[in-house]
Amino acid sequence: MTGPTQRTTPASAADERAAEALEAEQRLAEEHAAGRGRPAWGPLPRRSAPKPASPLFSLRAPISAPARWTLAALSFAIPFLAWVVLSVSGAVDSTFLPSPAAVLRAGLDMAGTGELFDDLWATTQRVLEGFGLAVLVSVPLGILMGTFTAGQAFFEPLIGLLRYLPASAFIPLLIIWLGLGEPSKIAILFIGTVFFNTLMTADVVRGVPSALLDVSYTLGARRGEVLRKIVVPHSLPGMIDAIRVNAAAAWNFVVVAELINSSAGLGYRIVRAQRFLQTDKIFAVLVVIGLAGLLIDVLLRLLRTRVGKWAA
């Protein structure tokens, strides 16, 4: 005799499959709630082939040299044309917005008397002294902070705090400490730029790849050699960029500095013209400041390209 055989009925098989499906759904829901699962993604829609975009509107696509020069010219031409239209149409009173011709005449008049060149030299000299001193202090300090973790831990908290203090807030103290002469003006330029240039230099130095340092040590280089032959050359283009950015800030602070008992300087000339509502002279001086700053920017760009062709 044979024993009774067990048979699975269709109803029981369907119940088992339903239970397994329910258990799988519960397990998937638990994994998704715990962050281990992810919802199922639907199929991507069918898309036609993308149309070739113009290099002008493509992400980081190179453009031709003529297109670059054309765009550069338009960046100057469009604001200048807007200035001409506003001044010629009479939409703005000439007392508040003089015409380009009036500004040119005022600039030629000041150049003819020699006061414009005297003011330009006085302002440039202050920028060179104040910002030059800031560079001499900030570059070695930034290299120290970017190279050594101990240097960063010691200097960065204090410099990070001081950079938020406006340089103009130090004017009363500087007058008390240094008087009304040139030292107080130089100090304002120094305070306004040294902290930012230090932190930007430190960020550039920290960007030196660790692989270069490891390879240098592996080949037997000493710490001073790595600093002199690897860290500084690799960081030099970035440090010049930081100087280029903060040079613009120095030209902004020089106007504030020349408010302190000055008898010459572009900032002094702006304040003097403001007293007599000579807006044409104010615009002429602003144009001179812009051209001087642009010249410095171009020279620093050329220097960066020359000393760091690999980073251009």
Number of domains the chain contains: 1
Q: Is residue 196 part of a domain?
A: yes
Query: For residue 154, what pLDDT band results from cuts at 50, 70 and 90?
Result: very high
Q: Is residue 262 part of a domain?
A: yes
Q: 199 is in which domain, residue-wise?
A: 94-311
Using the predicted structure, report yes or no on whether residue 282 has a pLDDT greater than 70. yes
Q: Is residue 249 part of a domain?
A: yes
Structure confidence at residue 25 (pLDDT): 72
Give the C-alpha distances (Å, rounded to integers) separating 12 from 7, 25, 34: 10, 20, 33
* Least confident window among 16-25, 65-74, 79-88, 226-235: 16-25
Backbone angles phi, psi at 99, to 5 degrees: -75, 160
Q: Is residue 86 part of a domain?
A: no
Average pLDDT over every residue of 267-289? 92
* Least confident window among 59-73, 132-146, 265-279: 59-73
Using the predicted structure, report yes or no on whether residue 241 has a pLDDT greater than 70. yes
Give the C-alpha distances (Å, rounded to integers) separating 151 from 141, 194, 200, 216: 9, 17, 15, 22
List, for residues 289-309, the tens digit of each pLDDT value: 999 999 999 999 999 988 877
Rounded Cα–Cα distance for residues 36 and 28 (Å)? 9
Question: What are 65's two structure tokens?
Answer: 């040299």
Give the C-alpha distances (Å, rounded to integers) separating 270 from 99, 168, 172, 263, 308: 18, 18, 22, 12, 38
Q: Is residue 236 part of a domain?
A: yes
List % helix, strand, coil for the chain (3-state, nearest 5).
Answer: 75, 0, 25
Q: Is residue 84 part of a domain?
A: no
Structure confidence at residue 28 (pLDDT): 66
List, for residues 139-148, the tens digit of each pLDDT value: 999 999 999 9
Q: Is residue 186 part of a domain?
A: yes
Using the predicted structure, report yes or no on whether residue 30 has a pLDDT greater than 80. no
List, for residues 31-69, the tens digit of each pLDDT value: 665 555 455 566 667 777 667 667 777 777 888 888 889
Give me the CATH number covering residue 101.
1.10.3720.10
Q: Is residue 254 part of a domain?
A: yes
